Structure 1
Amino acid sequence: MNDARIAEERIDRLADFARELARAGDDERAREAVRLARRIAERHRCGLPRRFDRFTCDACDSYLLPGRTARVRLQEGSHVVIRCDCGATERYPYRG
C-alpha cells in the first residue's frame, strides 16, 4: 500500500473520531484529532476531504457542529456563512 493512501485512510478515521468527540462534548480531544489530521495531510501532501475541511475551523482547529460550536446562516446571493465560537468566519457558495 502506498504511503499517501495510508495517510488518506488515517485522515478519514481521524475525521470520524473528531466528529464523535465533538458530539460527545469533548472539544479539546476533538481539536487534537483535527490538528493531527492536518499535520498528516501536510506531511504527505494530500488534501483534506471536503466534508472534513468545511467542518473544521482554520483559526482554532475546532470541529464545527452547527448550533453547538458554530452558527450557520444562509446569505442572500447563495452563500453559506459559518461562524465559529472563536469568531472566525467562512463563506461557501451553494446552489439553491
Structure 2
Amino acid sequence: MTDEAAIARERIERLESLAREAVQAGNEARARSYVRRARRVAERHRLRLPRSFERSTCDACDTYLLHGHNARSRTQSGHVVITCDCGAQSRYPYD
C-alpha cells in the first residue's frame, strides 16, 4: 500500500468518527457532508470503504445511521434489514 492510500484510509476513518459524533450531537447535515467526503476520498484513491462504514451509512441519502435514532434494525430469515428514515433499506446476512 502506498503512502497516499494509507493517508486516505486514515482520513476515511477520521471522517467516519466525525460523522458518528455529529449525528449523536444532532447535526445530521454535517454528518451527511462527512459521509459524502469520505466516499469521495475512497473513489479518488480507488479504495473500498470499511465494512463498518458501509453498513453504517444510507446509500440513498448519505446519512450516518444510528440505530434507534434515525434507523431501524430488524432480523428476517438469516438477514439483518436496516431501514433508514428516508425509507431506503439495506440487507446483509448475519456475520
TM-score range, shorter chain: over 0.9
Equivalent position of 1:30 in the other structure? 31
- Structure 1 residue runs of 5 or longer lacking an equivalent are none
Task: Name the TM-score, length of structure 1 as normaliser.
Answer: 0.95
Equivalent position of 2:81 in the other structure? 81
User: Cα distance, 1:2 vs. partner?
Assistant: 1.1
Superposition misfits of 4+ residues, deviation over 4 angstroms: none
> CA–CA distance in 2 between the matches of 1:24 and 1:53?
21
User: Cα distance, 1:70 vs. partner?
Assistant: 0.5
Q: CA RMSD in A?
A: 1.0
Aligned residues: 94
Equivalent position of 2:55 in the other structure? 54
Task: Name the TM-score, length of structure 2 as normaliser.
Answer: 0.96
Q: Determine whether 1:70 maps to 2:71.
A: yes
Q: Determine whether 1:8 maps to 2:9.
A: yes
More displaced 10-residue stretch of structure 1: 61-70 or 1-10: 1-10
Identity of aligned residues (%): 62
- Structure 2 residue runs of 5 or longer lacking an equivalent are none
